[in-house]
């Protein structure tokens, strides 16, 4: 019960309205940029640009990635730079826990993450409240 409350508490007072707003925002972004994405049942949108090989990671894996995170205006809030970073997949935002396993080793693509699957109403410095986030990701290893 607590994880459900935590997820619902991560958004505005009306989580269904926030979900609708985020979904519309992502679709408008895709349309405006001539992109086509797949989506999951939770509303995570993703684009696989390079398939990769070697299987998909699971939540129990430590993953090594290059990434760049930015908002819908293209303002970068975080990126890896020249060297990839490694971390346990289970310790990141829900959008990554769901999205990274869609990639295979060596795969590259884009995750468009609803605010409820990111930081919701409680973002870290540099990210706006209830922001849809975009990540360019390359799964180096797991």
27: CATH: 3.10.50.40
Which of 9 and 98 is assigned the larger pLDDT? 98
Is the pLDDT confidence value at 134 over 90? yes
**The predicted structure's pLDDT at residue 54:** 86
* SS3 of residue 63 by DSSP: strand
Q: How many structural domains comprise the chain?
A: 1
Is the pLDDT confidence value at 46 over 50? yes
Give the model confidence (pLDDT) of 70-105 as tens digits: 999 999 999 999 999 999 999 999 999 999 999 999
**The predicted structure's pLDDT at residue 11:** 45
Is the pLDDT confidence value at 13 over 80? no
Domain span holding position 24: 2-141
Spatial separation of the C-alpha atoms in residues 104 and 117, rounded to whole Å: 21
């Amino acid at each position: 019960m607590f994880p459900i409350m935590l997820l619902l508490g991560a958004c505005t007072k009306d989580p269904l309205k926030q979900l609708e707003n985020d979904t519309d925002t992502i679709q408008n972004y895709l349309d405006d940029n001539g992109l086509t994405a797949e989506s999951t049942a939770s509303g995570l949108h993703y684009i696989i640009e390079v398939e990769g090989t070697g299987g998909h990671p699971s939540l129990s894996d430590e993953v090594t990635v290059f990434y760049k995170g930015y908002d819908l205006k293209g303002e970068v809030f975080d990126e890896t730079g020249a060297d990839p970073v490694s971390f346990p997949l289970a310790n990141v935002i829900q959008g990554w826990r769901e999205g990274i396993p869609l990639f295979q080793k060596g795969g590259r693509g884009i995750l468009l993450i609803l605010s409820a699957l990111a930081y919701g109403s409680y973002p870290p410095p540099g990210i706006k409240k209830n922001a849809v986030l975009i990540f360019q990701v390359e799964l180096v290893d797991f």
